[in-house]
A and B are shown apart, each in its own frame.
Chain A
Amino acid sequence: MNLTAQVRKQLHSSGSTPFLLDVNLDFPAGFTVLFGPSGAGKSTLLDCIAGLQTPDAGRIAFNNDLFFDHDAKITLPAQQRHIAYVFQSLALFPHLSVEENIAYGLTQLATDERQQRIHEITSAFHIDALRQRRPAQLSGGEQQRVALARSLVTQPRILLLDEPLTGLDAGLRRKILDDLRSWNAANNIPILYVTHNREEVDAIGERIVTLEHGRVQESGHPGQVLDAPRSLALAQAAGFENLLHGVVLEHRPADGVMRVALSLSNRELEIPLGAAPAGSSVQIAIRAGDILLATEPPKSISARNILPGTILSLDLRGSLYIVHVDAGLVFTVHVTPGAVRALSLAAGQRVWLVLKTHSCHVVV
């Protein structure tokens, strides 16, 4: 159960400079998240694996079955790869009912078995009641379930998911992911899941591969990869709400830090000692959830960066408050509703931002 994809393909996306998609990846059974900013080549990679686009060079194989081999001039048509692919647009056939959509890939089966499979998949994804409806009569979440069911009912060897759950709220997304996870507990196939949404990555866990400009940046466990992003685009995609510019003032090897003067303000930060020499400019990514808020100047605390500021605004978004604080620069901070209540935080209030040195990530 292993998909190997060596893909080289020149991409000419409109509005940006052409770049080369050049990856060499292994996908074992289970979830692998393909993460990266839009235009990084994620969807193109899936299209190549599915057989909808042809790489310029490389080799794609599943176990011993060759899908594509440039040197041997082999290209298996998409129809024969036996892969399931759920597009971002879902691509449900608008003129067919839910049941006809799901039956679309099952023409080879006898009627009895086809009915049996449709019955199983519609109950697994909780869409029995929708079988006679048209896609236009379904909610977003229902359409996503139908698209998954239509793909999985064919018992594919590989499942490709291109942001299939965007636009759903976190609760619904988690439910659908749970259904998908229990489906794969029985089937155990490689699932490639493209997203640029950090919440989805956290909900899926397992493995992650980050792509940028057609190259693999990093791979590993989501926690390791996304919590210390090495590039600006990745930091933006990974949900680092605070991206600051600064100039390195000095290195302090004895303390394991360097001091950085933040541009557009007279504030300084201590950040982990890095390669950037004194005098060079750096960008620093800080996650909004990694910043602490205090209503009094904190004392006896290990965090090295304490910046006084004023609350500009508080916005309730789902289960957290997004707080904007003017501390020379505007910082975005995430706070729980409980903390807002306990500290009686309000706009205009004087606060202190507390930042651990290691919450400040230098990105390039």
Chain B
Amino acid sequence: MNWQALFLSVRLAATVSFVLLLLALPLAYWLAFTRWRWKFLLESIVALPLVLPPTVLGFYALIALGPRGFLGQLWQKLFGHSLAFTFTGLVLASMVYSLPFAVQPLIASFEALDRRLLDASAVLGASRSRTFFRVVLPLSLPGLLTAVVLCFAHTLGEFGVVLMVGGNLPGITRTVSIDIYDRVQALDYAGAHETALLLLLISFAVLSVVYGVNRRVWSPWPAR
């Protein structure tokens, strides 16, 4: 068992889930409540990672993060090193890859809220942010949990994006799924099986938590 790879994957998944949640909460809130007529375009962008092959996503991420890319150059200026083949680069690319898994459950639970509760909060004098933290967020906890857990599980198992953006550097970008791939390439089936089974069990446990807490069957697509 390659514990280093597993630990790296868990660290990556936890970081991505946390940072992505901070981004997804306002984005989902805005998408759930705005009446902007072009919002469907943004919704489509959010859902893109669901249909794109990870290699396509990884390819563009690599270009953006690379020394000539927009993000890569910005990062180079700010921190003096490149983003490609680093853990930070992996986090950024994974955030794009897992975006729908964070945003869609949140939108679904925000849209299910009784609007009159928000009206009542406003009439009682509460600002928008107070309404968000005192009413919207507490009543959306199941959706929040779903978002975090799905993000975590999805990032834990990603392969294509990591391979394109991160390469295969032990301890930095060699995650479990890359490790399994390496072992199969090297015909080490027993070693691959050990890790694969562990990943399978973790994924099952994580999804059981989501469905156990949340009786509504969740779909990554917008509920319309």
Contacts and interface: CB of A to CB of B under 8 A. Distances in A.
Given A91-B114, A91-B117, A84 B135 contact: no
Contact of A52 (B123, B130, B135, B138): B123
Contacts of B123: 50-52, 78-79, 81, 83-85, 151
A52 B117 contact: no
B127 A87 contact: no
A150 B121 CA distance: 11
Interface in A78-102: 78-85, 87, 89, 91, 93-95
A148 B49 CA distance: 48
Given A93-B135, A95-B139, A85 B119 contact: yes
Contacts, number: 58
Interface band, chain B: 10 to 19
Contacts of A80: 125
Contact of B125 (A82, A87, A94): A82
A105 B119 contact: no
A79 B127 contact: yes
B141 to A, nearest CB: 9
Interface band, chain A: 20 to 34
Most buried by A among B121, B125, B134: B125
A87 B118 CA distance: 12
B19 interface: no
Contact of B124 (A51, A77, A95, A104): A104
Contacts of A91: 114, 116-117, 119-120
B131 to A, nearest CB: 9
B114 A52 contact: no
Contact of B138 (A51, A78, A95, A108): A95
B122 A87 contact: no
A91 B130 CA distance: 17
B126 interface: yes
A195 interface: no
Interface string A203-217: 000000000000000
A144 interface: no
Contacts of A50: 119, 123
Contacts of B139: 94-95
B116 A154 contact: no
Contact of A93 (B117, B122, B127, B130): B117
A78 B135 CA distance: 17
Most buried by A among B127, B134, B139: B134
Contacts of B134: 93, 104
Most buried by B among A82, A93, A94: A93
Contacts of B120: 85, 87, 91, 93
Interface string B127-149: 10010001100110000000000
Interface in A125-172: 150-151, 154
Interface of A: 50-52, 77-85, 87, 89, 91, 93-95, 104-105, 107-108, 150-151, 154
Interface of B: 114, 116-117, 119-127, 130, 134-135, 138-139
16 contacts: A50-B123, A51-B123, A52-B123, A79-B122, A79-B123, A83-B123, A84-B123, A89-B116, A91-B119, A91-B120, A95-B138, A95-B139, A104-B126, A107-B125, A107-B130, A151-B124
Shortest Cβ-Cβ A-B pairs, 7 listed: A105-B124, A91-B120, A91-B116, A78-B122, A85-B123, A95-B138, A87-B116
